[in-house]
Amino acid sequence: MKNKINDAIILAAGRGIRMRPLTNKIPKAMAPYNGSTLIYQGIKEIRKEIKNVYITVGHKKSILASHVIEKNVSAIINTNNKGNAWWIYNSLLKYFDKPIFVLTCDNLIKLDFNLLIKEYIEMGSPHCMIVPTKPVKGVDGDYIFKSDKNLITNISRKHKSNLYCSGIQILNIKSIVKDTKKCSDFKILWSQLIKKKLLYCSETLPFSWYSIDSIKQLETIKKKKIK
């Protein structure tokens, strides 16, 4: 496999309940930021290195679909009222026998895509490699526990470690579909992969990372002018 990934997907189907009343009118992915929207920040970051960008839509899907079509995304996948991993087993992407970056619309990130791809390949192109981040004050997250060989042994919200799940992963979808039972939630999928020793953690962290799950967090990041 060449040292390149040409595909990425941004998960943007969530209802954004904690961002009401804003999300009563628009999808969470379209929350205003830096003169545009949260999801456009993600698309711009990805497009620096990756050609094909796919978007999952759900809550207020027609509004979001119109917005991202203007950004020339490669495809839109309707996952309305489905779990965050439903698309893996039920969209045409299930036939992808190649790696794909997975990101979420509510993260503002700066990544070294090439270094992450290199690390993924050196790990043997596993079914899934989660990109971690350091815990951030005021931002909830799932803590990662791993072995000295970067195999993830547990992901927990109760027990703390020095690493969070960042919402960034590299997946080989065809391998996952082949070796796991069909599910609709990433936590269930990760649990299956942990049991099979197929879930890895990268050593490369984002240059910067912030997750927005509330109006307060959105206002905080605007004031700090985090890029």
Per-block average pLDDT, block size 10, for the chain (227 residues)?
81 82 85 87 90 91 90 90 95 92 91 92 95 85 91 93 93 96 96 97 90 80 59
Pairing of strands 32-33, 36-37: antiparallel
Check residue 227 and give its pLDDT.
Answer: 47
CA distances from 62 to 5, 67, 86, 132 (A): 29, 9, 19, 32
Check residue 133 and give its pLDDT.
Answer: 93
Q: Which amino acid type is present at position 150? A: N
Beta bridge partners of 102: 9, 169
Pairing of strands 7-12, 52-57: parallel
- Token readout for 164 is 């969070």
CA distances from 146 to 15, 34, 151 (A): 31, 36, 5
21 cis-preceded (ω within 30 degrees of 0): yes
* 8 Å CB contact between 50 and 5: yes
CA distances from 58 to 47, 75, 80, 156 (A): 23, 14, 4, 27
Check residue 223 and give its pLDDT.
Answer: 63
Pick the closest to residue 212 from 38, 37, 10 (CA basis): 38
* 8 Å CB contact between 170 and 99: yes
How far is Cα 159 from Cα 85, in angstroms, rounded to an integer?
Answer: 24
What φ, ψ does residue 22 adopt, rounded to 5°?
-55, -45
Check residue 1 and give its pLDDT.
Answer: 46
For residue 65, count other CB atoms closer than 10 A to its CB. Answer: 17
What φ, ψ does residue 181 adopt, rounded to 5°?
-80, 145
